[in-house]
Amino acid sequence: MFGNWLKTSILVAGIIALFGVVGNALGGQQGMLIALVLGGAMNLLAYWFSDKMVLKMYRARQVDATTSANFYNMVKELAQRAELPMPKVYIIDEEQPNAFATGRNPEHAAVAATSGILRLLSERELRGVMAHELAHVKHRDILISTITATIAGAIATLARFGMIFGGGRDNRSRSHPAAQILVMLLAPLAAMLIQMAVSRTREYGADRGGAEISGDPGALADALLKIESYARGIPLRTAEDHPATAQMMIINPLLGGGSLRSLFSTHPATQERVRRLRAMM
């Protein structure tokens, strides 16, 4: 667990350092401030309201101990094991097996699962999946993803400013136009790569944390293999229409691509996740 947090901290520090370098090269202090304020404002709104927006987007319906007793009580038992407040529980009427957690902190959290995953998985496997989602809540991964998204967005904004207004105003930056153009083109790509790497690291952390909450690493490993196998053949239309939400799912609902695409993936390779979980058994 410490290793995942250390890697996350290094990556977050890296994207902040990249912001400083790009800001100095393209916008100076004033440009950095404008980009950070714009990116921060947008992501602050997302941080506070994204749970409501994404649940509405997926037409999720809230359930309780009366309307979905087995599922609700499973989440309740796992939340108690994780020493978390009881999150709101939702079901999404979609055939693709998948699940996600959202909410700005443990006191305002929600977990959601598709009707497809409820039918596909055994009770043991479903416990593993929901424990994974509760681990995201416990680790405050929504906050971490918001920080990295803010800085990545600010870097992209600075690059756009540089293209429109010609970059920094000091003589040194004007004397290296080729280098400045290179920064404009490569900085947003580098920021995206770091952001995706943070996301993959947090998935590993949630796998381990979920295995510890459920006490059954093999259950989550079995569930991941089964979910990926079925998800490849069953589309999730909302994720296709809103691909930015794909990073929230336990398995990327927009599967496909080779090794190059893996650099831009929000999720680690399922086989590697399974290998690490099996090593915990």
Please tell me the predicted confidence (pLDDT) of residue 182. 66
Residues 6+ positions from 102 with CB-CB distance below 8 Å: 50, 51, 54, 55, 109, 110, 112, 142, 248
pLDDT for 79-114, tens place per residue? 999 999 999 999 999 999 999 998 888 999 999 999
Q: Rounded to whole angstroms, how far apart are CA atoms 207 and 224?
A: 10
Question: Closest Cα to residue 22, out of 166, 149, 180, 178?
Answer: 180
> What is the side-by-side strand order in the sheet with 110-114?
61-63, 88-92, 110-114, 99-102
Distance set, CA 78 to CA 90, 117, 134, 278 (Å): 15, 18, 8, 21
The domain segmentation of the chain, as residue ranges, is: 2-279
| Averaged pLDDT score across all residues of the chain | 80
Asked if 130 and 74 count as a contact pair (C-beta separation under 8 A), the reply is yes
Please tell me the predicted confidence (pLDDT) of residue 242. 81
The token pair that represents 43 in the structure block: 């992501």
pLDDT for 54-80, tens place per residue? 899 899 999 999 999 999 999 999 999
Between 229 and 31, where is the model more confident? 229
pLDDT for 212-253, tens place per residue? 999 999 999 999 999 999 988 899 999 888 887 888 899 989
With residue 63 as reference, give the H or E element that holds it: strand 61-63
Catalytic residue (one of 133, 212, 228, 240):
133
Please tell me the predicted confidence (pLDDT) of residue 183. 61
The reply to whether 133 belongs to the active site is yes
